[in-house]
């Protein structure tokens, strides 16, 4: 298969800290800090390359932070085709506390100029011709129109390249109008799309079916400790996570998306695809560094995931 293309419109350097607890309005001293190349699409690219997939990555990078991210991806064998920006790529803070809470402080990122946007669209169009699957992930940088994912999805459809979308808010709401092949909202994101609270498990499944019926081939809903729901033409599946101690949940959703991309390449059944996605996501949560899957842990968890086919 051709390369998998990941698109990250607002990447970031994730400075991940550990501490005992975080108290608002007080001095909080950190125990450790790790600097990680991040942003949802960057995370997906890292995982795919870790599993031996050929990956190209595009989006916007600028300044010292951008150079750091590009260097980390290149070390992993990812083809970097980012557009260089005048503005500095953002840096985020992920604070992992011993009490189980993860606090994220996210910068807005640079404002993308019209010239940079035009260059990116040309780059994206050229890359589509060389790739067999495209994954659009994360938030939209300032200066880009909120419905840019619609344009990117439609271009992929025109080139007959399958396209996944993993975003949130208005970017997701706009993006689903173009009917990507797969979306992966969490429950809160699904509620935003549907427009009301989903009070129970059945309501989540009903909402996923609604989106599937609108023309989205595969709807994957991530539910944290409750596992994953998948709705596709193969049916409705629920994968339940094994008992693990979560250290850092950042990147778990990206692990699901990367796993589904690999399952698509391998032609796996939906039952096997959701099982592997659940195992990789759970394994990701066991380490402080996001999107660096402990592969032995993932393999061990694979045999402990419970997958149930639900009759709707």
Q: What is the pLDDT along the chain (312 residues), one digit of tens a residue?
A: 689 999 999 999 999 999 999 999 999 999 999 999 999 999 999 999 999 999 999 999 999 999 999 999 999 999 999 999 999 999 999 999 998 888 999 999 999 999 999 999 999 999 999 999 999 999 999 999 999 999 999 999 999 999 999 999 999 999 999 999 999 999 999 999 999 999 999 999 999 999 999 999 999 999 998 999 999 999 999 999 877 888 888 899 999 999 999 999 999 999 999 999 999 999 999 998 889 999 999 999 998 999 999 987
8 A C-beta contact, residue 210 and residue 199: no
Q: Which of 180, 38, 20 is nearest to 103 (CA)?
A: 20
User: Alpha helices, DSSP H only, in the chain?
Assistant: 40-50, 63-75, 114-128, 148-158, 169-175, 187-194, 201-213, 252-266, 270-284, 295-302
Helix, strand, or coil (residue 72): helix
Q: Which among 59, 66, 46, 78 has a CA at the least distance from the CA of 7?
A: 59
Q: What does DSSP assign to residue 224?
A: G
Specify the residue for token string 């011993």: 98
d(CA 56, CA 45): 8
Taking the C-alpha atoms of residue 239 and residue 241, their distance in angstroms, rounded to an integer, is 7
Please report where in the chains the tokens 């150079």 appear, as a residue. Answer: 67
Per-residue pLDDT, 1: 64
Burial of residue 96 (CB within 10 Å: 0-12, 13-18, 19+) is buried
Convert 18-71 into a string of H (helix), E (strand) and C (coil): EECCCCCCCCCCCCEEEEEEECHHHHHHHHHHHCCCCEEEEEEECHHHHHHHHH
Residues serving a catalytic function are: 254
Q: For residue 47, what are the CA distances in angstroms to 111, 160, 253, 265, 304?
A: 28, 25, 12, 15, 21
pLDDT at 248: 86
Contact 141, 60 (CB under 8 A): yes
Using CA atoms, how far apart are residues 165 and 171, in angstroms rounded to an integer? 10
């Amino acid at each position: 298969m051709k390369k998998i293309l990941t698109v990250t419109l607002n990447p970031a350097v994730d400075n991940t800290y550990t501490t005992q607890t975080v108290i608002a309005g007080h001095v909080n001293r950190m125990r450790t800090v790790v600097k990680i190349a991040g942003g949802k699409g960057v995370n997906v690219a890292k995982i795919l390359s870790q599993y031996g997939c050929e990956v190209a990555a595009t989006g916007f990078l600028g300044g010292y932070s951008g150079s750091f991210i590009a260097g980390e991806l290149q070390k992993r064998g990812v083809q970097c085709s980012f557009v260089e920006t005048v503005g500095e790529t953002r840096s985020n803070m992920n604070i992992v506390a011993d009490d189980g809470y993860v606090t994220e402080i996210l910068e807005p990122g640079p404002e993308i100029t019209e010239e940079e946007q035009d260059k990116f669209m040309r780059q994206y169009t050229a890359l589509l011709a060389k790739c067999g699957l495209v994954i659009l992930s994360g938030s939209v940088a300032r200066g880009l129109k909120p419905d840019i994912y619609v344009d990117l999805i439609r271009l992929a459809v025109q080139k007959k390249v399958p396209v996944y979308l993993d975003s949130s808010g208005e970017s997701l709401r706009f993006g689903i109008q173009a009917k990507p092949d797969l979306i992966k909202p969490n429950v809160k994101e699904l509620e935003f799309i549907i427009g009301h609270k989903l009070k129970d498990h059945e309501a989540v499944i009903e909402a996923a079916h609604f989106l599937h019926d609108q023309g989205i081939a595969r709807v994957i809903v991530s539910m944290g400790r409750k596992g994953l729901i998948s709705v596709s033409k193969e049916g409705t599946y629920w994968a339940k996570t094994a008992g693990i101690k979560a250290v850092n949940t950042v990147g778990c959703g990206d692990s699901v998306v990367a796993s589904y991309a690999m399952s698509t390449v391998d032609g796996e059944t939906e039952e096997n695809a959701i099982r592997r996605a659940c195992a990789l996501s759970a394994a990701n949560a066991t380490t402080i560094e996001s999107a660096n899957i402990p592969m032995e842990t993932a393999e061990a968890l694979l045999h402990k995931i419970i997958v149930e086919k639900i009759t709707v």
